[in-house]
Every structure is written in C-alpha cells, then in structure tokens.
Copies of this chain bind each other. A is one copy, B any other.
Amino acid sequence: MIAVLKSGVTKAQREKLTQWIESQNVRVHVSEGEFQTIIGLIGDTSRIDMDLLSSLEIVEKVSRVSEPFKSASRRFHPDDTVVEVGEGENKVKIGGGNFCMIAGPCSVESEEQIITVAKAVKAAGARMLRGGAFKPRTSPYDFQGLRGEGLELLFKARKATGLPIVTEIMNAAHLDMFADVDIIQVGARNMQNFELLKELGRSKKPILLKRGLAATLKEFLMSAEYILAEGNPNVMLCERGIRSFDTYTRNVLDLASVPMLHELSHLPVVVDPSHATGVARLVKPMACAATVSGADALIIEVHNNPTCALCDGAQSLTPEQFAEVAERVNELRTLITR
C-alpha cells in the first residue's frame, strides 16, 4: 500500500502517521521526493483500513499495490480450487478444468413438477439440480417459495435422479434445514449480508456466492473472503448480471468478469445467463458466450409445466430448449478444451 502525502506536511505530522501505521504491525518505507513524500506500507496491509487512511487530512491519495483479499487471491493460491459434490456416478466437480451444467426451475412448486424437471434436465445433460425453496422477492406480496416443504421436495428429486441439489438460503437461522443440501446458494441481494457469510464460513458446505447487483469484483471477492476466512474453502463465484441504465434486458451480463475473476482468484466461476438477461431467447447465446469465456459451470432455469401454457416465454427454458443449449455448450467445451 502506498500513501502519498500532501505537500506542506510537517515532519511532526509525518512521524505521527508512521508511528500509527507501525502500531498496526506494518512496516513503513518513506521516500521523500522533491514535491511530495510517498509512504510505502510493507507487510500484511490487508488489515489496514484504507478508507480511514485516505481520509486523513495530510494524505493526498492512497493506493493498494496488492489486493486486500488474501484467501481468495490467486497470488497466494496459484492452483485452481475444485469443488466436489455428490457420490459415486453422481459425483460432480467444478473448477480446475471440470465443467458442468446446473438446471432446474426458478421455484419448487410441487413434487410432480420438481421430479419431472429433474429427470428432464438430467436426460438433457445437467449434472446438478437447482430450484428455489426460499425465494427473495422484491414485493412482500409475491410468492415467497414453499420454504421448508420446498427443501423436502428437492431431496425427493435428488433421490429420484441422483442429481446433487443447489438451493438458496436467506437466513442463517435456517442452516440446520440446509444440512443435507449439496450446494448452498447466497443470492445477489445477500452478497453483503456479512452475518450470513460468516455463518456459512463456519459450515463446510460448498457455497455458490452470487455477485451483487452493483458489486465491484473487489467487493465480490471480499465477500468470498468472509466465507474463506472462517475456514470454509468451498466457494464458487457466480456472475449473474449487474445493474445498468438500459431496460431491454433485466441486467447486463458482465462476461469479461469470468477471465478477470480467474486471473484474480483460484475460485471456480459460474455464470447464470437466465437471471442475467431475464429473457429466455437470450439464454442460449449467453450460455454459449459464457462457455467460451471460460466459465466453470452454467446455472440455467428450466421449467416443465405442460398444464400451464401461460409460463411459456418466461426467462425459463423448456426441457427441449435446454437440451439444445446443452448440446451446443458441450460442442463448444469440446472445441475450446481440445
């Protein structure tokens, strides 16, 4: 970390500053220039509060040379993290060259629905089942999910198909109910619910952490760091679109974040083209684009509700559409990993 002091800072002020920095167990290297003085902070600066330092009256500017995330950083952990779930023939690996597709409905609605979709997406090549039991909704009057009952139905679907399950948690108090879930998802709106992240860090469950709507990559990795710092190494990062000023798509899918996150971190990167766009017709091209961007997994919404033709056209794909996406994605994976 480097702090540039304002011109006109007295020696006494400077020494007060360096003493304070050294009291944080960080060494100081002062470089006096003709017009300004630069202070280098050497050692474990991840614990230095950069906001505080840069707000001091005598400081012109502070910049980090190394990133404040340690456990999430590739610098200190060059090898890819590989997350494993499932057993036997249903074992699935994500990261380190292992790729998979995760599919399922937005919400678990009934036993018949979730088992039918699970079988259909498995047949089409999905290796994991997603489905919301607890649903974060902007309006308190929208459907909030089947909650505990939804989890039970997911377990039944896993039993019926062998597919490991991914589902979202919204409250640390529910952790016991999630004991048998394979991957716990943290939604975009909870990306900085730090109390929840700490609790998940103390569990050893694999976590799928979704990027917040307006989160920088640094904030995203710092949220992963909250989980890692508590001792849980099984974190996957999920790009799901960020907020912008345009309204043709629900969010803007930031695909450059995929190779950039791989450069910054050893954690697997998952892409959710369904929530990112909110438009079923865009899921196929964005799933393909995410694949060749280097995503380690895709998570895609698929429903199967023949009695309700109304749902056609939602951001969800039909099983047939998903099968088509899966086939193309697999061809692309084969090409780029040849």
* Given contacts A310-B16, A331-B335, A245 and B248 within 8 Å (CB-CB): no
The answer to whether A314 and B139 touch across the interface, beta carbons within 8 angstroms, is no
The answer to whether A60 and B49 touch across the interface, beta carbons within 8 angstroms, is no
The answer to whether A310 and B20 touch across the interface, beta carbons within 8 angstroms, is yes
Instruction: Confirm or deny: A185 has a beta carbon within 8 angstroms of a beta carbon on chain B.
Output: no
| Bound form: Cα–Cα A171–B170 in Å | 11
The answer to whether A245 and B216 touch across the interface, beta carbons within 8 angstroms, is yes
Set of chain B residues within 8 Å of A26, measured between Cβ atoms: none
Set of chain B residues within 8 Å of A331, measured between Cβ atoms: 335
Oligomer: number of copies:
4
| Bound form: Cα–Cα A60–B278 in Å | 15
The answer to whether B171 and A195 touch across the interface, beta carbons within 8 angstroms, is yes
In-complex Cβ contact of A217 among B142, B170, B230, B248 (8 A): B248
A242-280 interface bits toward B, Cβ cutoff 8 Å, 1 = contact, 0 = none: 111111110011111111100110000000000011111
Most chain B beta carbons < 10 A, residue from A57, A192, A222, A256: A256
| Bound form: Cα–Cα A173–B198 in Å | 14
The answer to whether A315 and B55 touch across the interface, beta carbons within 8 angstroms, is yes
The answer to whether B139 and A225 touch across the interface, beta carbons within 8 angstroms, is yes
The answer to whether B172 and A286 touch across the interface, beta carbons within 8 angstroms, is no
The answer to whether B288 and A292 touch across the interface, beta carbons within 8 angstroms, is yes
A269-301 interface bits toward B, Cβ cutoff 8 Å, 1 = contact, 0 = none: 000000011111110011011111110000000
Set of chain B residues within 8 Å of A171, measured between Cβ atoms: 172, 195
* Given contacts A16-B310, A140-B226, A214-B213, A36 and B61 within 8 Å (CB-CB): no
* Given contacts A36-B65, A189-B193, A194-B137, A244 and B246 within 8 Å (CB-CB): no
* Given contacts A47-B141, A140-B222, A57 and B281 within 8 Å (CB-CB): no
The answer to whether A31 and B38 touch across the interface, beta carbons within 8 angstroms, is yes
Show the binding face of A for B, using Cβ within 8 Å.
2, 4, 13, 16-17, 20, 29, 31, 33-36, 38, 40, 42, 46-47, 49, 51-52, 55-61, 63, 65, 68-69, 136-143, 170-173, 189-190, 192-195, 198, 213-214, 216-219, 222, 225-226, 229-230, 242-249, 252-260, 263-264, 276-282, 285-286, 288-294, 309-315, 328, 331-332, 335-336
The 8 A-B pairs of least Cβ separation, nearest first, read A57-B313, A214-B214, A189-B192, A289-B289, A55-B314, A171-B195, A31-B31, A288-B292
